[in-house]
Amino acid sequence: MTIQIQGELNAADKSFAIVVSRFNDLITRRLVDGACDIITRLGGQEDLITIVWVPGSFEIPLAAARLARSGKYSAVICLGAVIQGSTSHHEYINSQVASGIMQLNLETGVPVTFGIITCESMEQALDRAGGKVGNKGVEAATAAVEMVNLLKKI
Ligand code: INI
């Protein structure tokens, strides 16, 4: 018989840090709302959620690193919105932020989830911030809850 292990979607008594970019805050505020809403719906407490605002997505990994290493949080949830412009600027931000966040997961052992929308237009971003394609903040927070519980078992 196979052994199958997965993390429960139970956020009770867990503390979460949310790092969120102020750049494109029309979008990122919706991601924060989605993340906080799902954490409390999964049994988490609002007073165990800390929200840290940074200027732009590029600054997310440094703040997330400080939070992950502090030992105060069960998981760190990273939220941002990088919308493609007329130059390749966004590509540098996306690749650096994604690899910075992955590196933090492996170095700290603390789940650091990726809720950064990377898309071509404001319309696509709105679709992913509570519109017709869901909410990346909800996804990233749900993944954080699941990983915290999974890591306790393996
Ligand atoms: N930051 C974002 O979060 N999203 C963007 O779309 C974006 N664009 O397009 O420029 C952006 N730029 C700012 C960047 O994250 C840094 O804050 C800035 O370069 C200072 O380090």
**What are the pLDDT digits (tens) for 18-61?**
999 999 999 999 999 999 999 999 999 999 999 999 999 999 99
User: Which residues neighbour 113 within 8 Å (Cβ) at sequence distance 6 or greater?
Assistant: 75, 76, 77, 78, 101, 140, 141, 143, 144, 147
Q: Cα(116)–Cα(64) distance, rounded to whole angstroms?
A: 13
pTM for the whole structure: 0.98
Contact 74, 112 (CB under 8 A): no
- pLDDT of 86 higher than 90: no
Question: Does the beta carbon of 90 lie inside 6 Å of ligand 1?
Answer: yes
Task: Give per-residue pLDDT as tens, 90-118.
Answer: 889 999 999 999 999 999 999 999 999 99
Q: Cα(70)–Cα(2) distance, rounded to whole angstroms?
A: 37
> How far is ligand 1, taken at its centre, from the CA of residue 125, in Å?
15
CA dihedral 40, 73, 19, 144 (to 10 degrees): -60
What atom in ligand 1 is closest to the CA of residue 54? Answer: 17
Residue nearest to atom 1 of ligand 1 (CA): 56
Counted residue by residue, the chain has a size of 154
Residue nearest to atom 11 of ligand 1 (CA): 56
Beta bridge partners of 134: 131
Which residue is catalytic, options 41, 66, 72, 89?
89
Question: Does the beta carbon of 23 lie inside 6 Å of ligand 1?
Answer: yes
Beta bridge partners of 81: 117
What atom in ligand 1 is closest to the CA of residue 90? Answer: 9
> How far is ligand 1, taken at its centre, from the CA of residue 77, in Å?
18
Angle at CA 62, nearest 5°, toward 143 and 13? Answer: 40
User: Which residues neighbour 152 within 8 Å (Cβ) at sequence distance 6 or greater?
Assistant: 7
CATH tag for 16-148 (out of 3.40.50.960, 3.40.50.1980, 3.90.1150.10, 3.40.50.1360): 3.40.50.960
The answer to whether residue 89 is catalytic is yes
Residue ranges of the domains in the chain?
16-148
